[in-house]
Structure 1
């Protein structure tokens, strides 16, 4: 019986090693991807972003796609690159914004603390966006948004621009203004599988117009 228990323990330990090593590798590759993008011109970086994400979705064990869907996968569909949807914006303190608490499955409740508003999107896009701080170990900046493409041309729950816990961050200019390029907008993992639980874009971050940039419906 002791031998059986030991072998069971070894199997469980091996499973944890494999699982978390692959997750570590996924996180590292995504961090390297965004570091490379920050050093590239906008459209060149976007082409690199698409290429690397397609490879990760197709090949990596941490892909949000099921094994069956990976076998059929030809690439993530995106709108054509639009340089007019790349912005450099200042930020101002967030006022009259409520803290948001969302259920995050096995991770429990996630707290999103509004701490800043963009300053520079109202004129071109019709509204400023709220930036949130994810209150968890280490924390991170989170910027989800919705727009008029949701549920028609893009995921109904909205898309993400920034999620610094996952290294999704295009950086800032020399004056500390954020680079927000909507061509890099991407779906949360829950758009691909019900196995994932993701915070969706809050109503206050829904833009009035259609943002035809970034990830869109239909995996090719």
Structure 2
């Protein structure tokens, strides 16, 4: 894997999410699952270790649940700065720009990656069957962006996925801080599976 491979991965992820935004949510979810599985199985910048790629048969993803898709305003929240020290990216700085209230689930902080280019970041940690270190719902820097509607930011927990460090320890990933931890088990999105997840 080289940097041009990573660039291509990010372009493909951004294109995948652009396609998802054109479709109704359930159809978009099916396209997302198939697209991620193809990338994991074939792309040189995919996060699977070589041995895991050889035995890869698909990602463990829950069936689409429309009750876990929200279009919500980003509500004000007290300013907060968070620095995540990573082994691969140095210190990554986040600024809290607000929060989203997800009925029946809880409230999640919305972060701005305060680095070159910037972007929104919404991680999630729950006691359900997802990756124990938490999952990402939005990471617009890397193309994981479900967009907005007239009602607000699209936060669809069916698109939650583990960060790359769940599959390969060479990656260092910011994990959800306390404001992104909920008590409700979120049985949606990509769940814990045999591909390097605990």
Normalising by structure 1, we get a TM-score of: 0.85
Q: Partners of 2:22 and 2:116 in 1: how far apart?
A: 28
Structure 1 stretches of 4+ with a deviation exceeding 2 A read: none
How far 1:21 sits from its partner (Å)? 2.0
1:120-135 correspondence runs (5 A) = 120-121=101-102, 123-125=103-105, 127-135=106-114
Return the offset for 1:219. Answer: 4.1
Write the distance in 2 (CA, Å) between the matches of 1:207 and 1:136: 27
Q: 2:162 aligns with which of 176, 179, 187?
A: 187
Aligned residue among 68, 85, 98 for 1:103:
85
- Larger strand proportion, structure 1 or 2? 2
CA RMSD in angstroms, aligned pairs only: 1.4
Which string of whole-angstrom CA distances, capped at 9 and with x for unpartnered residues, describes residues 19-50 of structure 1?
Answer: 12212211111111000000001110001001
Long gaps (5+) in structure 2: none
**Alpha-carbon offset, residue 124 of structure 1:** 2.0
Match of 2:35 in 1: 52
Q: Which runs of 5+ in 1 are unaligned?
A: 1-17
Distance across 1 between alignment mates of 2:194 and 2:65 = 20
* 1:40-189 matched pairs, under 5 angstroms: 40-95=23-78, 98-118=80-100, 120-121=101-102, 123-125=103-105, 127-149=106-128, 153-173=129-149, 175=150, 177-189=152-164
Aligned residues: 195
